[in-house]
């Protein structure tokens, strides 16, 4: 029986792509480049800032200028972190249902604390989550299982009766390695070249509305 729920943040709970794309394009314009369309940027959001800089500036970590551009991008994003960001349709009703049924839920994200906290506060989620594990809470980050196991410890949950929901392969790998059930959020930031069926999750959903039914199915 599933009695605790853990979510990834970007691409699972929150649709942050527009604000991240705006920040990325603002820095591109500053450096004399044209804007990238959102549909090009969107699939990289769940892969993190390094992947977004690689896409937008053809720079790899360690290249000259990478760190300074990354800092410009993240600082701009922090200053404009929740202009267009919203919970995906259906997430609020899902969270209310979980809360009404006393099913604890938490967040495990690779987003650093200095970005996670203001985003959750802006979305009024910071006091609702039973735990929030950011990318720098521990030394390890997903796909390492430690962040999920730490979340389970804080929630006093058994990984075997916990489910982790995310939209990236590393989310599913982290859940597998931690011993939780896993669910793929197909509505998230999945690249056209990805094949989620190969990730071998316990289930997939095309919208947040389907999540509760999936949870119920695990309990049958």
**Measuring CA to CA, how many Å separate 193 from each of 9, 23, 44, 100, 185?**
22, 25, 12, 39, 16
Could you give the CA distance from residue 18 to residue 76 in angstroms, rounded to a whole number?
Answer: 13
**Measuring CA to CA, how many Å separate 95 from each of 68, 129, 140?**
38, 9, 27
CB atoms within 10 A of CB 72: 16
Which residues are annotated as catalytic?
8, 10
Of 127, 163, 133, give the one whose Cα is nearest residue 147: 133
């Amino acid at each position: 029986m599933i009695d605790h729920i853990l979510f990834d943040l970007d691409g699972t709970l929150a649709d942050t792509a527009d604000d991240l794309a705006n920040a990325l394009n603002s820095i591109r314009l500053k450096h004399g480049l044209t804007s990238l369309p959102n549909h090009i940027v969107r699939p990289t959001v769940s892969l993190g800032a390094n992947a977004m800089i690689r896409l937008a500036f053809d720079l790899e970590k360690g290249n000259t200028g990478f760190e300074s551009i990354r800092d410009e991008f993240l600082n701009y994003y922090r200053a404009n972190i929740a202009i267009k960001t919203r919970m995906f349709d259906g997430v609020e009703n899902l969270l209310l249902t979980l809360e009404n049924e006393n099913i604890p839920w938490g967040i495990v994200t690779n987003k650093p604390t200095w970005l996670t906290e203001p985003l959750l506060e802006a979305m009024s989620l910071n006091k609702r989550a039973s735990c929030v594990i950011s990318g720098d809470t521990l030394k390890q980050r997903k796909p390492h299982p430690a962040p999920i196991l730490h979340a389970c410890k804080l929630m006093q949950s058994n990984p075997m009766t916990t489910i982790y929901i995310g939209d990236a392969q590393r989310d599913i790998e982290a859940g597998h390695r931690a011993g939780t059930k896993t669910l793929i959020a197909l509505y998230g930031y999945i690249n056209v070249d990805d094949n989620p069926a190969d990730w071998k999750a316990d289930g997939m959903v095309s919208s947040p509305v389907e999540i509760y039914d999936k949870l119920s199915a695990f309990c049958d």
